[in-house]
Structures are given as structure tokens and as C-alpha cells.
Amino acid sequence: MKQLRTYNGEQAAQARIGQVVSDLCDERSYRSVYHRANHDVPMPAIERLSEIVELLRAILFPGYFGNSEVKPETMGYYIGASVDTVYQLLAEQLKRGYCFSCAETETLDCADCERRARDIAVRFIERLPEVRHLLSTDVAAAFEGDPAAKSSGEAIFSYPSIVALTNFRIAHELYRLDVPLIPRIITEMAHSRTGIDLHPGAEIGERFFIDHGTGVVIGETSVIGRNVRLYQGVTLGAKSFPMDDKGNPIKGIPRHPIVEDDVIIYSGATVLGRVTIGRGAVIGGNVWLTRDVPPGGRIMQGAPDENGFSGGGGI
Amino acid sequence: MKQLRTYNGEQAAQARIGQVVSDLCDERSYRSVYHRANHDVPMPAIERLSEIVELLRAILFPGYFGNSEVKPETMGYYIGASVDTVYQLLAEQLKRGYCFSCAETETLDCADCERRARDIAVRFIERLPEVRHLLSTDVAAAFEGDPAAKSSGEAIFSYPSIVALTNFRIAHELYRLDVPLIPRIITEMAHSRTGIDLHPGAEIGERFFIDHGTGVVIGETSVIGRNVRLYQGVTLGAKSFPMDDKGNPIKGIPRHPIVEDDVIIYSGATVLGRVTIGRGAVIGGNVWLTRDVPPGGRIMQGAPDENGFSGGGGI
Amino acid sequence: MKQLRTYNGEQAAQARIGQVVSDLCDERSYRSVYHRANHDVPMPAIERLSEIVELLRAILFPGYFGNSEVKPETMGYYIGASVDTVYQLLAEQLKRGYCFSCAETETLDCADCERRARDIAVRFIERLPEVRHLLSTDVAAAFEGDPAAKSSGEAIFSYPSIVALTNFRIAHELYRLDVPLIPRIITEMAHSRTGIDLHPGAEIGERFFIDHGTGVVIGETSVIGRNVRLYQGVTLGAKSFPMDDKGNPIKGIPRHPIVEDDVIIYSGATVLGRVTIGRGAVIGGNVWLTRDVPPGGRIMQGAPDENGFSGGGGI
Amino acid sequence: MKQLRTYNGEQAAQARIGQVVSDLCDERSYRSVYHRANHDVPMPAIERLSEIVELLRAILFPGYFGNSEVKPETMGYYIGASVDTVYQLLAEQLKRGYCFSCAETETLDCADCERRARDIAVRFIERLPEVRHLLSTDVAAAFEGDPAAKSSGEAIFSYPSIVALTNFRIAHELYRLDVPLIPRIITEMAHSRTGIDLHPGAEIGERFFIDHGTGVVIGETSVIGRNVRLYQGVTLGAKSFPMDDKGNPIKGIPRHPIVEDDVIIYSGATVLGRVTIGRGAVIGGNVWLTRDVPPGGRIMQGAPDENGFSGGGGI
Amino acid sequence: MKQLRTYNGEQAAQARIGQVVSDLCDERSYRSVYHRANHDVPMPAIERLSEIVELLRAILFPGYFGNSEVKPETMGYYIGASVDTVYQLLAEQLKRGYCFSCAETETLDCADCERRARDIAVRFIERLPEVRHLLSTDVAAAFEGDPAAKSSGEAIFSYPSIVALTNFRIAHELYRLDVPLIPRIITEMAHSRTGIDLHPGAEIGERFFIDHGTGVVIGETSVIGRNVRLYQGVTLGAKSFPMDDKGNPIKGIPRHPIVEDDVIIYSGATVLGRVTIGRGAVIGGNVWLTRDVPPGGRIMQGAPDENGFSGGGGI
Amino acid sequence: MKQLRTYNGEQAAQARIGQVVSDLCDERSYRSVYHRANHDVPMPAIERLSEIVELLRAILFPGYFGNSEVKPETMGYYIGASVDTVYQLLAEQLKRGYCFSCAETETLDCADCERRARDIAVRFIERLPEVRHLLSTDVAAAFEGDPAAKSSGEAIFSYPSIVALTNFRIAHELYRLDVPLIPRIITEMAHSRTGIDLHPGAEIGERFFIDHGTGVVIGETSVIGRNVRLYQGVTLGAKSFPMDDKGNPIKGIPRHPIVEDDVIIYSGATVLGRVTIGRGAVIGGNVWLTRDVPPGGRIMQGAPDENGFSGGGGI
């Protein structure tokens, strides 16, 4: 055994690899999976969007994230610098998002994308005080709704519900401003991290809490009132969706549930279609539901428990 | 179009951003979402806790994690250095955890936090041989319980069950030492990575195995015997929890199931409340259960399968 | 209080830590959790495998991942360099995988591992055009199957289904080439990121789509046809598995479902054992199924919905 | 001692810090040290320029830098990808450089900067084969001129002379293309790393070698022939420079030496002004020289050495 | 050849390595090269000090370093956040510096170090406006003194003189506040990067410029007036230093030159001892000088040049 | 202006870039600057060598570098782990160095390189106690020789002389073991950082000190006794070197100075050729010397200073 690898072997390997490269560069191979940058503007950068979200977390929850020694006296510095940095970074990513979407429409030009991106970035930033307010009610709901919570600070710092809702409420503001692509990326970041899949199009009221959360899915046209509590594995989905003439689903039609104030939905329950769960209703675990529930209604799987209601899925 | 962005546009943007910064720095806005560092001691650092957990993984499973060329002759060096580093890093993080909790209680002073942190760090470290022993039984259970497993090494190196249980068994020791906040962060790290949500307060015996694992939730006061096997989506939760006079949940009451030795619970099953699943019982998939099950009992959804028992959810 | 920490305290701490180190280095403690590198070849490196998968993503979806300004004129450079780098990195990791598996068999020598690794790496690379083709059909299925999708590019760039299937289709090719350990690591990466647990051994046809995906489990011997759609929380699992004389599960027996073309399985459904779901069948949400379903069959939980079929779990 | 730090102390500190911040933000304080981004285009990024230079090093010396397993069969991939990446990155940095220089001139608009940057980037790239040729002669000169060199590969991989000349020859091409700012940054990178300060404006022929190099300075209008060798601490500088009416130095006048072919200048020698060192001349160490030297001339400090010529400063 | 490495060979290697470890851990071996942390406070961290210096560079030269899109409207945010971060980071490093020096003196306790560190950090910060003012004069001197400089921005962004003086002027303020160790580390950072070795104890007036700079050394007790210009390789050193009874040099005695206003010293000149170079004097290149020079004096090496004065070493 | 960049422009640019890539991949272009990996073993990795040197610094100066809280009780862990890691990393890099050198000789095979690398790595490690001893004498010399030094710890932690000598003494041991390439890389690292260029072949006795150091060059065959002190800019070089028949310098002949014990050489002095500077001699600054100096001799530039001896260049 003179040589670990014969030269011939490597040469043959190179030839075979060369053939694969050639095949992969054939236009027929890459046509449907290739994105050609419009105006040479690159794709939105996931790392940058992630950085933006972390900056926003630090802005929204000062002292918990970002510099943890921020004081009331110095808060203006840190929040000011972070907000302005968000403005710069977000404007750039929004521009990339608009250019990406040009791929289909071809109607924008770059200066327009730039101007629009800056304008939308400012309008988004103006929503931050309201976003913080909503999140503060979510924090209160988490602390009050979970017997295992030791403090509201613990919820802010470590609860997946707050992680997911922070990303969602950010993404929802961008969605409302008709930003393409990026809202979905931001909620997917939280989906990946928490297992909670909140479509940025959903409307969610204050004091929302999702305990544990893994497997929760809330669809694009869902409407959720205030003080609603969900457990892991709950789906608010579409029952079916109408197709157009070509057999493609028609997009944008209301097709997910309306959940009114003070509703609780226990783990594993599935609610499908444009149904309404009335105020104060309780949906038991693993329930499969495709009909309206009146206010105060109680739906549970199988026979009622002898101890009375058995819906709890909390920890 | 002489300029891509008019100066006026930018100036107006800056003014609007300045207003937002001002609003966010108003004490009424940040009051309930701001953490002021006690004694100027910063928050526990997630990256550092993550580093500690990775060091512990290398200590517990030498050769699999950390330096993969460790030999019996050199093991003392690597384990010694890692254990001492864990001691230093963990003591610092524990101190931060105590100071964070001072926010509520105001009764500690920093030198005390420091001393306590060092003391607890040593006591935690003394539990490592036992933690490793328990994990070695979990590895054996994983290998024996999964027909797809090719070797116990594969389980150690790539199974989410072992990832989640390593974090859990570390966090549980800290929980037993009354460490605030940090145990929960450590189990959340594993929750995020594996979809398995194990509260650090749960008591879990040896030879525990969770197959696939996504969506599993085990609550704070659960008690699990030895040789128990769970599949994805299983919940051991609370049925309901008593409220105090103000309507807040009373914390710390036993409210989760007791699962005795040799029990199997198939995918999607939900067990709620302080019920007891007797030794050797089998709970079928998607079952919703709020009552005791006697030793050897078999609970399944709907009618029994004509082929006999139908609970399997394994891969 | 003269000193923050007394020397005696620290000395005692060091002594106790020293004892723990000594205990952890006792062969009885580490025996079953220690991996001694065969031929001093280290463990496969997770970071490197992750880098390989990201390079493959850039090869398979040019312009979306990797350099986003790649043009038809320069595609040969980028794909060529990435494919050759994958070849080099993958050959190294495959060698590590083979050496890791030597631990049990002791029959290989290192030069053989090296040669085999290079050979398999080339054979894997030759499958890339087919992998890309399959993924392009998955992208089409995702776009057509989700009313919330705005473009196929959005699916490529941000859908967990495409993330998981990319890792799966890569891992599956390696699995078919009898590569140990590494295919499972690659699907676990996607499991951790998406909550979708696809065993690399499964056979999955073209145009496969998993909506939302968290909690999906597809077992090792599953066979899935073309144009199949799944929702979150679906399990294709084993019902039970035969044991050998020693009570260990017998490995490698077909034990998971066969799902024929054009089947839809809604969220939370569980299908167990070597059953066949016939062409065009629809399985409703949360259904528990251990029997064959004929072509065109419709299985749903409880009574049929008054509005007709109620299986939808889409968003 | 109840508290490590009194609150009053910190409050006073914050007030004093606040005053400093206020002073530093006074326009009178920052006026002459502040750069306002023209057209909001940021400064050239040092890290990016450094990345560009490392890519160029990999292009110019394949196998030594960048991927060290590049083969003739795969060279096209790696060099192609690297050259195209240089094109993209450099065009961006050139644009920033032009915009930075707009600060003084105000006459460019951004689209023009963009177009110019792309054009110049291509023209620079077209010079790379010649740059490589020149560097290959420098490598040969280093190997032949240093008795301590074991191979030309050692010179390429580890000699400061080659590091400095690579940066210089890159920067010089950009300088010739009238690129502002960036050429100087690129030679300063090498100056910082090697102690060799080559102004990008100098003209340097092939087969140039600088042994050891620390402290060498070669001024902007120097002209150096082929096969010239320098040792550490040599200065080719200006003797004096004419001032304009306001007492500022007049820029751009030839004011540094002309060094003809085959000259050797030993360590610590200083040559000042627009003098000519004739072909084949030898300048001894520490010599201070402000006059022409005829071809073949020998200049040395003090009396000639009894052993004959004493100029050597080589190692 | 069955095995690449025999087990015996590795075992012997391990034994020999074990012996070395044992020797290195013998107190006689490490005694004089070991630092035991006082009060368990670690060494100053070079990376942190480097971060502090970069933050200061961004504060002193806004728009050039740090965020390059800072505007007058947002400057308060960025400078405020940076100054407060410097305060926090520097206070920590100063504490470490004090604790390090306790090694010799044993008289401080940790709370005192902490308090002192915070106090000195504030006092340092109060000097920043003056430091910026001095540096702005240095920038003007660089631009005016170098015919190759295209703009003062180019000098700020890329001249080693400004790099070295920024570090020096920062370090000098700390030196004046009697901070141990850290000032020297900060000037060494610049020494390493630029080859310019400025002792933090030197006193240097405004409008100071060092062209090229490599090899410049300015000693601890040097005193330099305003508008002084130096070229590469200039030494302002001590001629000799008195010893104490034990033969150790007596520390702190003025032993370096006084250089008055408007002096120029050309490349390679050496000035030694407590001599005075009078106002407006010019010292030629490579001159060796140990005597006073009267105001307006001109010192040069060897005979005067026939073209008149020959001291220039500029580029 | 409809489009920022015309498609035609870009297409032409791509064509021109394609031509350059093609030219650079022509074998005639890359022949003399390309390294083809022998046996596919890559080049030594600079980052890894840098990591090795930093590990060695932590081993040699415990508490100053690496973990700064190492205690006598835990020193064995840290030094053991670091030494074993150095063994593993260095063996790999040595193998690469041997394979790189095979390029010229073609006589080694890889298994041999591997074995030799491991053997040499152990033999190097066995020299570490002696290396530490020598460095401890260098530290003492630095502290005693520099009036500005406040403690020997300051010298260890921040003096370029100690940085350079640590790299040198490591590299010298490797040089003595006939390791190719790598010793030079290690001294070049220090050269780049400190401006001190010590060839790894030089022999340097204990208690060596180089003050300031920038520009110091010590050639390959230099021999330096004990207790020698140098200042910045000193060269110990070759006067001239004999050529072979082809006009290439003959390598390996003693051609640099011998410097006996207790010699001081002041800044800027140049000593060339195989001359001997006798014990206790003092060489003045900027002196140019090519002859022997007797023991106790004093050589200085020009006329003696009226104050007596004028050689000092210290700070």
C-alpha cells in the first residue's frame, strides 16, 4: 500500500463531480428553484432580521435584554441608539423585501423601493409604544395564568409565549403595513425556536397567553379577543378552502376561527373554519371543533368527568 | 430626481423617531417591562448558561462531546478543567440569579449572594456522578426502546431524548437546591431545541425514554417512576388549580400526575391532575385521562383494535 | 467582614471538587457513557455537517441561499466550488462516521474508511440533480397547497416544510448508501429547527407537503407516494415491534404505514403499523388509525360534520 | 458597610456622564472630527476590504491561501467564485470610497458612483493576471535572495515581503485607476502587519525583495526598477517639499528617489529627494543619501571595511 | 501495517506527557511566572480593553468609526450609549487592574477597588472632550504635514499616527489618574498595530504628527511641546539611568528629552537623556544626539548637503 | 434613467470577468505560485498554530494567560488539558508541515509523516519546563533592565520582548527538532505583532531582554550569550554570503555575529558577519560594526560624548 488514494481514483472522482456541476448549471435543472436578484439587490438577510428582532426585544424590555445595566438616567441613550439602528437596518431589509417581490410584478424601481422602505420603517417604529403596551399585558397574563411562574420577570426572560408573541406582534405591524415576505420570516424564527406558529396576519388582542406552546398553530385570518389563554398543541385552522378555476387555493378569504374575549382552549384542541367561539367559552383538550360555540359554552371530549369539568392542561 | 432621498424627508423621519424614543423612555411606558439591575449585578447570561451546559455535557459523556480524543490517561485533565470551569462560571451565574430575585424580596446583600452562589455551585457539582449514572440508564432505555437505534452511542450523540434529559437532570439538581430562574432557563434551552418541555421541578426516575418527543409537556409536580417510556405529544398536566382570594393561582400545590414504574404512554395522550398511573400500565395514543389507572391497566381511545392492543406509537 | 471569601472556604471547595473529578474519572463511572476514538479519528463534527447542509441548500436553491447575487453566467463558479467543498468536507465526515461505527465492529481499517468515504461522497453528489428535482416538486406542492403562500420563492425561503424536506432528501440519499449515524444527525438538525421528525429511512415521493409541521413524525420504514399532504402533529408510526430472545426490539422490519398517492392527512392524526392508506384517501384530524383504508376512503373522528366533510386543518 | 455602592454616588456619576455626553454632542466639539455620510452611504468597511484582500491572496496564490485542496480540475470553480465575489464586494467598497470623497467635491450622484464603481472593479480585475505575474517574480527574488529560505513556497506562505507586496501591487492598480482612500487603506493593512510602509503610488518593477522589512518606507512618487533588493529600515523619502501660498505642502510633485535595476540598499539607509540611484549600485547600511549615485556606484558609511565591501545586512 | 499508530506508542507518549505536566505543576517550576488572582478577581481582559478603545474611537470620531450613519439628530443616542458602556466596561477593567496590583501591596480590599474604579472611570470620561480637542489638532497637523494626504478624513480613517495618538491620549489620561498596568496595555496595542511606541507617561502637546511611524519610541518622562513633527524611527530615550544599592534602576526620575514647540525630527534620529531641543529646532535624519539644541538650531549628520539643508524624510 | 444598471453593462462585465478567470486558470499563469496538496493533506493552518501558541503561553505563564483563576490546586487540570491539546493540535500541524515539504522531496509517505509528527510533538513537549525556565530569566531581565517596569507581572503581561521571546523559544525548540516551515511561521507571528524578527535558528542564552524592540533583526546563525540586552532597531545580520555555481546563496553557513555574555547593544546598531562581540562589551546606538570587539570593549558613533559614554537608548 504505497498511496492512501490513487491518483486515478481522484481523477475519476473529479470528472464525475464535474459532470454533476454541469448538470446542476443546466437551466432546465435550476429554472424553478433559482432566484435572480432583481436590480442586483440581494435577498433579505436572516441574520440581519434576527439582529433587528433582538434589538427590538431590548427596546421593548429594557434591562432584560440588551445591556442589562441600563438605568432610567441612561435609558434614552440605549433606546435611542437601538431605535435608530433598527430604522437603518430595517429600511435596508424592507428594500430587499420589496425588490424580492418585484420578481413577480416587475413594476417597482429601486429608488421607489428605497423611499418606500424608509417610510414604512418609520411608520413601523411609531407603533413600538403600542407593541410594548400589548406585550406588557401578555406578560401579566402569563404570570397570572401559570402557577409555576415565580415572577413576571421570569416570564419576560424565559417564557416561550413571550418570545413568540414579541416576534408576532412585531411581524403583525409589518404585515399591516403590507410588507412582503419579512413578517413571515420573523414569525418563522419564533416558530423554529418555540414550536408556536403564529401567522403574522392573525389579529390577537391583549392579555394573550400560550402555555408551553409547542405545536400551536394560528392561521392567517384568525381573530382573537382579549384575555384568551391557549395550551400546547392547539390549532386554529381552516376547514377547507375554495379553489379557483385552475385548482389553486383562492388566497385572502377569511377562513379561520374568531375567538372572543376570555376564552380558554386546552391542549391539543383543534378549531377549524370561520366559526366563532363565544366570550368566556372553554374548549377542552383534544377536542375537534368545526361549529360555533355560544358565549360561556363548554366543549369537551367524550363524557363529562365525574369531578366536574376536566379541561385543564396547565402546568 | 436629483437625490435618492430628500433631506427634508430624512429630517422629518428623525423627528418622528425622536418622538418614539421619548415615548418609550417615559416611565409609564416602561414601568412593567423594565428590570433595574439590583446592586448593578446584570441578568444571567444565556450564552454563559449555554456554555455551562455544553461543558457539563462534555463532562457527563466524555469522548462524545468536548474534546473527542480524550483518553483514559488524559481524562482527569479534561474533566478536572471542565468541572473547575463550571464551578467558576456557574457560581457567577447563580449570583446573578440570586440578585435578580432580590428584586422581589430585597433581603439579600451581594456578599451573601456571592457566598451562597459558591456554596451551591459546589453542592451541585457533587451531584454530577449521580446525574451521570441516571443518564447512563436513560441511554440504555433509549437504545433498548427504539428499534431504529443502531447503537447506544448514536442515542447519546443524536437523540433529542438524551439532550432534553441531560438539561433536565442538570436543572432538576439546581431546582432542588432552591436556585431561582436558572433551572427554568436550562430546561427552556432544551425545550427550544427538542420541543420537549420538562419542568425542572418534576421528579423522574431512571431509565426514562421519550421517543421523538416534540410536544411532550411534563409539569412541575409530576412524579415519574423508573423505566417509563413516553412518545411525542404526551402531556402530564394539571387539571385545574385553586385560586387565592385575588384570583391568582396558588403556587406549589401538587397538581400533576404520578406515573409509576414500567408505564408506557403513547403519542398524543394527555394525563391531567394528581392522578396515579399504576405500575406497568399502558396508556394508548391520543387518550384523554383524568382518573387513576390501576397497576397493569390498559387505557385506549375508542373500541379495542381487532388485532389486539393498538397503542403503539413507536418508530 | 474582612474578606469576601475566606481562604478556608475556597480550599474546602477545591477539595470537594477534586473528589468529584476523581469519582467521574473512575472507569466504573464513565464506562457506559464514554466513547474512545477509534484510530484516534474524532467524532463527526455537528458544525461541519451543518456547514455541509447549508452548502447543499445553496447548491440546490441558487440565489435563495449562499451568494444571493449569483447569475446564470457565474453559476458554474459558485456551484462548482460548493460541490467540490461538499465533496471534501463530506468525505471527512463520512470517514469519521465509519470510524465511529468501527467501535462496535472492529473490522475496518482507516485507509479503507478513507477510500470508502471518498467513494460514497461522489456517489452522493451524483444524486444531487435528482434531489433538486424532487425538491422543486415539493416547492410547487407547498405553493399550491397553502392559501397563505404568496409565491413559490416565499416557500423556498421561509417554509419549514422545505427546510425539513431538504435535510430529509439529503439524509435519505446517504441512508440509501448505508452511511451510519450521519443521516440521522442531518434529519435531527431539521427536527430541532422545525419540529418535523422525518426518519432518513422513509421513502417519500415527489410533491410532498407538510403544513406547519410541528410534531410530525414519520418512521423509518414508512413509504409515501406522490402528491401527499400532511398537517402538523401527524404521526406515521409503528404499532408494536417484535422482540428478540433477549427482549430487544428486532431492527429493520417494515413496521410503518404505506401512504399511496394523493392522500391528505389532517392535523394530529396518528397512523400506526404496516397499514396501507389507499390512493386519494383523506384522514381527518386527530384520527387514530391502525387499519388499512381503501383508495378514496374518508376517515374522520366522531360523527360526520353537518356541513359535509370536516377534515381541514390548513391555514 | 451595607452597600457596595451608594445610590447617591451612582446618581452623581450619571449626572457627570450626562454632562460629558452633552459636551461631546455640541457641534463645536465634533465639527472637525465628524464625518456625515454622503447620500447615507456608509464608510468603506475595513473588515470587508480585508476580506477582499484575502480573497485576492487566494486567487493569486492558489493552494497556499483559501481552500488548500484546490486541484487543477477544480481551480476554475474556486477562482471563478472568488473573482466574482471580489467583483461584488469591491464594487460596493469602491462606491463607498467615491461617496466618501464626495464630501469634498459634492459633484457626484449615487447612481454615477455605482456605475463608476462597477466599471473600475472590472478594470481592476482585468489586471489580476499581470499582478500575479509580478508577484511570481517577487517570490523568485525572495527565494534567491535569502539564504535562510528553504523553498519558494515558504516565501509565499510566510514572508512579510510577499505579504506587503501583494497588498501593494493590488493597491497600486487601484491607485492607477484613481480610486480614492481605499488603496491607502490596503497598504496600511500590510504596514500594520509587516512594518513595511509602501505608498500605493510608488512604481515598483518586477523581482522586488525586501528582507525583514520592518521600518521600510517607500514614498508616493518613488520609481523602482527590476531586481531591486532592500533590507529593513530603508527609507526612500522626500527631502523637502514646496509649500503653496498658505504654507500647505503642494501635493503630487515628484519628490522621491528613482532606483534603477539591480540596486541593493542595505538596512537603515535613507535616500531622500528626486535623486537617481544608477543601475547596479549598492547603498550601504545606515547611509544617509541625498545625491545621485552613478550606475555601479558603491556608497557606504565611514571608511571602507578592511575585508572589502561591508554593506551586507542580510540574514 | 495493520494500524497507523501502535497502542504502545501512544501509551508511552501519554506517560511522557504526564511527566511533563507533573513537572510544570511543581511549585518550583511555576513560582516566578504564575499569577494568583487576588480576591479571585481575574486579570484585565485584553479583548475588553480593545473593545473599550474602539468605543472611544467611535465617540471621538463620530461617523468615521462605529455606526457610520450617525447624524447630528441621533448623535446623542450613540455617544450617550457608547459613553455609558465605556463607563461600565472600564470600571470593571480598572477594578481588575487595581486587584492585579494588590499582588505586590496587599493593602487594598475589593470594595475599595470597586469604588475607586468607578470614581476613576468617571473622572476619565470627563476628560474626553479635551482628548477629542487634542486629537482634532493632531488631525490638522497630519493633513497639513503630509503632501500625500488627500483630506483630513483620510488621516482620521487610515493614518497610523492618529491610531497611535488616540490610544496614547486615552492611556495618558489614565496614567495621570494613577491607573496601574492598563495605560501600558493600551499603548502597547497601538505599538503592535503601528510600530509606534509611546509611553503613556510622556507629555505631548497639541498638533503632534508622526509620519510613517514605524520604530518611533518616546520614553516615559519625555515632554513634547505643540506643533512637533517626527518621522519614522525616531527615538526619544534615556541616556543611562542611575541604579539603586541593589543594582536595580531607580524608577520615575526624569530621564528623557524635552522637545519644545515647532521642532521637526527626521527619520532615524536618536535623542537621549534629559536634554532640551529648543523651539523651532530641526534634527536631521539618523542623527545621534545627547546634548541640548538651542532654539532654531539645525543638527544634521556629517557635512551639510551642498543643496542646503537635507533633513527631510517625508513622503 | 429607468434602470440603475443596464443589463448590457453587466453582461459585458461578466464576459470580461470570465476571460480573467480563464486566464488565471491557465497552467502557465499559476504554475509557479500554486501549491498542490501532497497526499491531499492541506497547508498548516495559521489559526491553529496561533491557537497552539496561545495554549503554550497559558501553560508557560499560568494565571496570566488562559484561565486567570487557576489555583495551585487546579493547576494540574488546566495544564494537563492544555498540554494534551497542544499535543493533538501540534501533531496535526507538524504532519501538515512534513507533507508540505514533501513537495520538494517526494520521499515520505503519509503514515510516516503521521508517526514522525507524533514523535516530534512529544519531544517538543518535553522541552517545555526548560522553555519556561528560560523565559522566567527573560522576565527577570526585563523587569530589572527597564526603569519604567512596575512589576515583573507587567512585563509578562504586556512587554513585546516577552511576547517575541515566548514565540522564539517555542519555535527554536521545533527548529532544533528539524521541523520545517512551522518554526518560521511562529516567529513571523511575533514579528508581525512586535516588529521583532528573531530567526528560529538563532541561539539565545538566558536573561535576554529587548527594549521596545521594533525593527530588531537577529539572523539564523547568531549566537547570543546570557544576560544580553538589546534596544529597538538593532540588527545582527550577515555581511555577505557565498554563492554556489548557479549564483544562489549557499544555505546554512555560519554568517551572523556571536554576542557573548553581558553585552549591551543600543538602538539602531548594526552588527554584521561572523564577528564576536566580547563579554561585557557595549555597542553604542546607530553604530555600524563588521569587526570583532574585545571583551569589555566600547564602540560608539563619532566622537565620545563630553559627559562620558553616550550609548544609552533605554526608556
Q: Do A153 and B290 touch (CB under 8 A)?
A: no
Closest-CA residue of A relative to D42 is A88
Contact B214 C197 (CB under 8 A): yes
Confidence of residue D114 (pLDDT cuts 50, 70, 90): confident
Which chain D residue has its CA at the smallest distance from A7's CA?
D71
Q: Do B73 and E21 touch (CB under 8 A)?
A: no
Hey, what amino acid is at E127? R
F71 touches chain C (CB under 8 A): yes
Chain E residue closest in CA terms to A77: E77
For testing contact with chain C, the best of F11, F24, F73 (most C CBs within 10 A): F73
Residue B103 is predicted with a pLDDT of 57
Q: Which residue among F2, F5, F110 sits closest to A40, beta carbon to beta carbon?
A: F5
Q: Cell match 541625498: residue? A: D290
For range D268-286, the mean pLDDT: 95
A-chain residues near B291 (CB < 8 A): 305-306
Confidence (pLDDT) at D313:
38
Averaged over A145-164, what is the pLDDT? 92
Residues in chain B with CB shorter than 8 Å from the CB of D3 are 39, 109
Percent of chain E scoring above 90 in pLDDT: 74
D295 and D206 both lie in a single domain: yes
Which chain C residues are within 8 Å of D81, Cβ to Cβ? Answer: 67, 74, 77-78, 80-81
Average pLDDT over residues F290-299: 96
Q: What pLDDT digit, counting tens, does each position of B170-181 carry?
A: 999 999 999 999
Q: Would residue B17 count as lying in a domain?
A: no
pLDDT tens per residue, range A164-197: 999 999 999 999 999 999 999 999 999 999 999 9
Contacts from A240-249 at CB under 8 Å and sequence distance 24+?
A240/A273, A240/C309, A240/C311, A240/C312, A240/C314, A241/C147, A241/C312, A241/C314, A247/C144, A248/C144, A249/C144, A249/C145, A249/C146, A249/C147
**Which domain-ending residue is among B195, B211, B239?**
B195
Query: By mean pLDDT, which of A257-261, D68-72, D102-106, E182-186 is the weakest?
Result: D102-106
Q: Are residues F183 and F48 in the same domain?
A: yes
Task: Tell whether A89 is within 8 A of chain B (Cβ).
Answer: no
Cell 400551536 found at: A216
Q: Are residues D219 and D173 in the same domain?
A: no
Q: Residue C103: what pLDDT?
A: 57
**pLDDT in the model for residue A89:** 97
In a domain, D13, yes or no: no
Question: Cell numbers 511533563 label which residue?
Answer: E20
CA–CA min distance E138, chain A (Å): 29
Residue A80: its chain E contacts at CB < 8 A?
74, 76-78, 80-81
pLDDT tens digits, C211-237: 999 999 999 999 999 999 999 999 999
Ramachandran angles phi, psi of A176, nearest 5°: -65, -25
**What per-residue confidence (pLDDT) applies to C37?**
84
**Which strands sit side by side in the sheet containing E282-283, from one edge to the other?**
E209-211, E229-231, E264-265, E282-283, E298-299
Q: Specify the pLDDT at position E23.
A: 96
Q: Specify which of C22-31, C139-148, D144-153 reaches the highest per-range mean pLDDT.
A: C22-31
Binary contact (B76, F74; C-beta < 8 A): no
Q: How far apart are CA E261 and CA E296, in angstroms?
A: 10
The CATH code of the domain that includes F185 is 1.10.3130.10
Task: Please state the domain count of chain A.
Answer: 2
Which candidate from F10, F14, F73 shows the least CB-CB separation from C14? F73
Contact present, A180 and A101 (Cβ < 8 Å): yes
Residues E134 and E84 in one domain: yes
Give the ipTM of the model, two decimals please. Answer: 0.91
Q: Does residue B13 sit within a domain?
A: no
pLDDT score for A11: 84
Q: Which of C214, C229, C309 to mutate to test the interface with A (most CBs of A within 10 A)?
A: C214
Which of A20, A31, A194, A251 has the highest number of chain C CBs within 10 A, making it the mutation to test binding with C?
Answer: A20
Chain F residue numbers touching E182 (CB-CB < 8 A): none
Residues C40 and C156 in one domain: yes
D40: contact with B, CB 8 A cutoff: yes
Q: Which of the listed residues A136, A160, A195 is the one where a domain comes to its end?
A: A195
On whether both D114 and D191 belong to a single domain, the answer is yes
Q: Do A78 and A189 belong to one domain? A: yes
Shortest Cα distance, chain D CAs vs residue B25, angstroms:
16
Taking only the tens place, the pLDDT of each residue in F181-224 is 999 999 999 999 999 999 999 999 999 999 999 999 999 999 99
End residue of a domain, out of B178, B195, B212: B195
Confidence (pLDDT) at B243: 74
To the nearest whole Å, the CA of D107 is away from the closest chain B CA by 11
E80–A84: do the CB atoms touch at under 8 Å? no
Taking residues D187-202, what's their average pLDDT?
98
Nearest to A110 among F4, F10, F110 (CB): F4
- D113 lies in some domain: yes
Residues F268/F274, Cβ–Cβ less than 8 Å: no
C121 and C174 belong to one structural domain: yes
To the nearest whole number, what is the mean pLDDT of chain E? Answer: 89
Distance from CA of A255 to the nearest CA of C (A): 8
Any domain includes C30: no
**Residue B174 is assigned to a structural domain of this protein:** yes
Q: Which of D3, D5, D39 sits opposite B4 (nearest CB)?
A: D39
CA distance D44 to D90: 10
Residue D58 pLDDT > 60, yes or no?
A: yes
Among chain B residues, CA nearest to F70: B84
Q: What are chain A's partners, defined as 3 or more CB pairs within 8 angstroms?
A: B, C, D, E, F
Report the alpha-carbon distance of residue B105 to residue F140 in Å, rounded.
53
Residue D300 has pLDDT above 60, yes or no: yes
Q: Do residues D239 and D255 share a domain?
A: yes
B7 within domain boundaries: no
Identity of the residue in D1, D69, D76 whose CB atom sits nearest the CB atom of C80: D76
Domain housing D276: 202-315
Asked if A77's CB is within 8 angstroms of D14's CB, the reply is no
CB atoms E286 and D286 under 8 Å? yes
Overall size of chain C counted in residues? 315
% residues pLDDT > 70 (chain E): 88
Residues forming a β-bridge with B93: none
Which F residues in the span 194-233 are in contact with D, Cβ-Cβ below 8 Å? 195, 197, 199, 201, 214-215, 217-220, 233
Q: Between C104, C184, C253, which is nearest B158 by CB?
A: C184
Q: Does any domain span residue F105?
A: yes
Question: Binning pLDDT at 50, 70 and 90, where does residue D246 land?
Answer: confident
Answer yes or no: do B273 and A312 touch at CB < 8 A: yes
The answer to whether F156 touches D156, Cβ cutoff 8 Å, is no
On whether the CB atoms of residues D269 and D289 are closer than 8 A, the answer is yes
Cβ atoms of A85 and E67 within 8 Å: the answer is yes
Nearest CA in chain E to F70: E36
Q: How confident is the model at residue F103 (pLDDT cuts 50, 70, 90)?
A: low
A241 and C314 in contact (C-beta within 8 Å)? yes
Same-domain check for residues D238 and D142: no
Which residues of chain D are within 8 Å of residue F100 when distances are taken between CB atoms?
153
D154 and D47 in a common domain? yes
F74 → closest Cβ in B1, B78, B80: B80
E242 shares a domain with E177? no
Grid coordinates belonging to A209: 397567553
What CATH number did the domain enclosing E261 receive? 2.160.10.10
Q: E209 vs D240, which has greater pLDDT?
A: E209
The pLDDT mean for chain C works out to 89
pLDDT digits (tens, 9 = 90+) for C68-118: 889 999 999 999 999 999 999 999 999 999 988 875 555 545 667 888 999
